[in-house]
A and B are shown apart, each in its own frame.
Chain A
Amino acid sequence: MGGWIVSGLVYGSIVALGALGCSYILLIQRYFNFTAAPWLALGAYLAWTMMQVLPHWGGLELIIAAVVAMVALGIAMTVADKALLKPLRKRGAPFMYFYMTSFGLLFVVRSIIWLIWGPQPKYYYPGSSAGIKGPWGIMVTPAEILTLIVAVVVVAALYFFQYRTKLGRGMLATSQNSTLASISGVEPDTIHTATTMIAGFVTALAGILYGLTIQIRPLMGWYILLGIFVAVVCGGEGAILGTLVAGYIVGLAQEVGSNLIQIPLNFWGIPVYMSAYKIAISCVLFLVVIYFKPHGVFKGTFLER
């Protein structure tokens, strides 16, 4: 049980980081960014390529590779936004156009990844790393501990940025009333650039941590996308703290939920393996949330921020 909870929290941290990227884009640009799936994978692959170039410096190489990949993905997402979505915004296109564009771009980025890196899974550090034994049968790898810490630190940093800096406040203002924001002197272009850059940073980070704790493969983002979707809806758009908690909920529901359901299945000898249906649990969670709490689970609480 303890082990399930830890892996749930780890997976949840990755989901939360991916969800934060989508949440930012939803908040400012008013569409759900499906392209987050291959962007996440691209971030992981960019870091992997950096790692091949860098010598081993006892972990420092991972940090450098991660930073480079984050910035590179931020730039890539910003360029894609300026080239494809800015013209739509300028003409006041209906929201459906944004969804279709991000859906189309999903396949483009995905194919590019496939072309460059091929279908074989890759690892930052080949060979299994030793787990650290804890109480209650918990086994954690250093990568998992790193993931848990990084998610919390990133959320704290984003929270500070959002509510204590001018640019963050400008983003909030734009999301609440874009006309009033622009006549207050907020420049929409700056806000859109900042949004896609931040989304790029956290999306790449999610991909790298996924690659570090599981593996890097072309479809990694595709499998986590539904979890991200649920966390965004659950957390409420633009809710930084809420999205982290929602990510944990998704991770725990998938890991603990699938294992708990497995127990009676094993007992009755039903040959169904829940590990293959983890995403289905996210899906059920999504339906429940959208039915009872369409504006997010944390509406009206401090987690709404």
Chain B
Amino acid sequence: MKKEKIILETDKITAGYGGVDVLFDASIKVKEGELAAIIGPNGAGKTTLLRTISGVLRPRKGKIIFKGEELNGKTPRERLELGIGYIPQEDKIFPKMSCIDNLRMGAYTLPKNKFPEMLEKVYQLFPVLKERRNQIAGQFSGGQRQMLAVARALMVQPDLLLLDEPTSGLQPSLVKEVLSKVKDLHQQGITILIVAQNREALEIAERGYLVRVGKVVLEGTVKGLLNNDQVIQLYFGG
């Protein structure tokens, strides 16, 4: 049985860019050990929500609470050290660095002697990264980039992983592979909040939130969501 402890809570977050808000009073809760999804059409504010949680963007209003601690005013580094890992949708690697240097950047906050141990762990998870460790990351394919991005975030063993559309732009066979890796990570005990762009990504989750025009409009189990008219419309058009 899963514990029912809340690890992350956003309380009425309002945020935006350059004075224009794109997210209004967004409240979500993520339980410890859970795999939660955020779904919604393009431009709904899903990425903005992840950016405020990771500390890249300051919310204009609202509170973010992680492990009982208020995050407002904390820098991205402090949030990382508390255990929040974030993998953006775009620009998720350092393109001019080698694969291993990207991983070194992932371990930036770690003491030097812990690096080899963590490196071995992520190599086990993604053997292809070991093979290509000296290759420049900019030459990687979409799937390899995604794996490198996940591996970079895993270097510090985060408790909560924020994944922004990890399958965007990938071919169907790779979508399955990436999602099965996400599931593996979840089974290893990492709490995951994933922005799900397609049905397959939503299906691996347990619970989800539907975001529309900057508002959380629906919350429920994945089963419930998949039968909801708004969600069906989102994924199948019409």
Asked if B56 and A186 make an inter-chain contact with CB atoms under 8 angstroms apart, the answer reads no
Interface assignment of B11: CB less than 8 Å from any CB of chain A:
no
Asked if B92 and A170 make an inter-chain contact with CB atoms under 8 angstroms apart, the answer reads no
Residues of A within 8 A of B108 (CB): 166, 169-170, 173, 184-186
Q: Given that A172-B96, A177-B91 are contacting pairs, would A184 and B105 also be in contact in the complex, using a CB cutoff of 8 Å? A: yes
How far apart are the CA atoms of A64 and B186 in the complex, in Å? Answer: 58
CB nearest neighbor in B for A179: B56
Asked if A177 and B94 make an inter-chain contact with CB atoms under 8 angstroms apart, the answer reads yes
Mask: chain B, 63-96; 1 = CB below 8 Å from A; 0 = not: 0000000000001110011000010100111111
Interface assignment of A176: CB less than 8 Å from any CB of chain B:
yes
Q: Given that A166-B108, A169-B101, A173-B105 are contacting pairs, would A185 and B95 also be in contact in the complex, using a CB cutoff of 8 Å? A: no
Interface assignment of B221: CB less than 8 Å from any CB of chain A:
no
Mask: chain B, 202-216; 1 = CB below 8 Å from A; 0 = not: 000000000000000
Residues of B within 8 A of A173 (CB): 94, 97, 105, 108
How far apart are the CA atoms of A180 and B137 in the complex, in Å? Answer: 14
Interface assignment of B109: CB less than 8 Å from any CB of chain A:
yes
Within the complex, what minimum Cβ distance (angstroms) separates B101 from chain A?
7
How far apart are the CA atoms of A173 and B104 in the complex, in Å? Answer: 11
Within A158-184, the residues touching B (CB, 8 Å) are: 166, 169-170, 172-173, 176-177, 179-184
Residues of B within 8 A of A166 (CB): 108, 112
Asked if B105 and A183 make an inter-chain contact with CB atoms under 8 angstroms apart, the answer reads no
One of A183, A185, A187 near B56 (C-beta < 8 A): A183
CB nearest neighbor in B for A172: B97
Within the complex, what minimum Cβ distance (angstroms) separates A304 from chain B?
9
Residues of A within 8 A of B109 (CB): 184-185
Asked if A184 and B91 make an inter-chain contact with CB atoms under 8 angstroms apart, the answer reads no
Within the complex, what minimum Cβ distance (angstroms) separates A255 from chain B?
34
Asked if B80 and A176 make an inter-chain contact with CB atoms under 8 angstroms apart, the answer reads no
How far apart are the CA atoms of A121 and B157 in the complex, in Å? Answer: 60
How far apart are the CA atoms of A169 and B98 in the complex, in Å? Answer: 11
Mask: chain B, 95-127; 1 = CB below 8 Å from A; 0 = not: 111000100111011001000000000000000
Asked if A179 and B77 make an inter-chain contact with CB atoms under 8 angstroms apart, the answer reads no
CB nearest neighbor in A for B112: A166
One of B77, B88, B93, B95 near A187 (C-beta < 8 A): B77
**Given known contacts A173-B105, A177-B95, A183-B86, what 12 new A-B pairs fall within 8 Å (CB)?**
A169-B101, A169-B105, A176-B94, A176-B95, A176-B96, A179-B56, A182-B55, A182-B76, A183-B76, A183-B88, A184-B105, A184-B106
Q: Which residues of A contact B (CB under 8 A)?
A: 92, 166, 169-170, 172-173, 176-177, 179-187
A selection of 8 A-B contacts at a CB cut-off of 8 Å is A166-B108, A170-B105, A172-B97, A177-B91, A181-B94, A184-B105, A185-B108, A187-B77
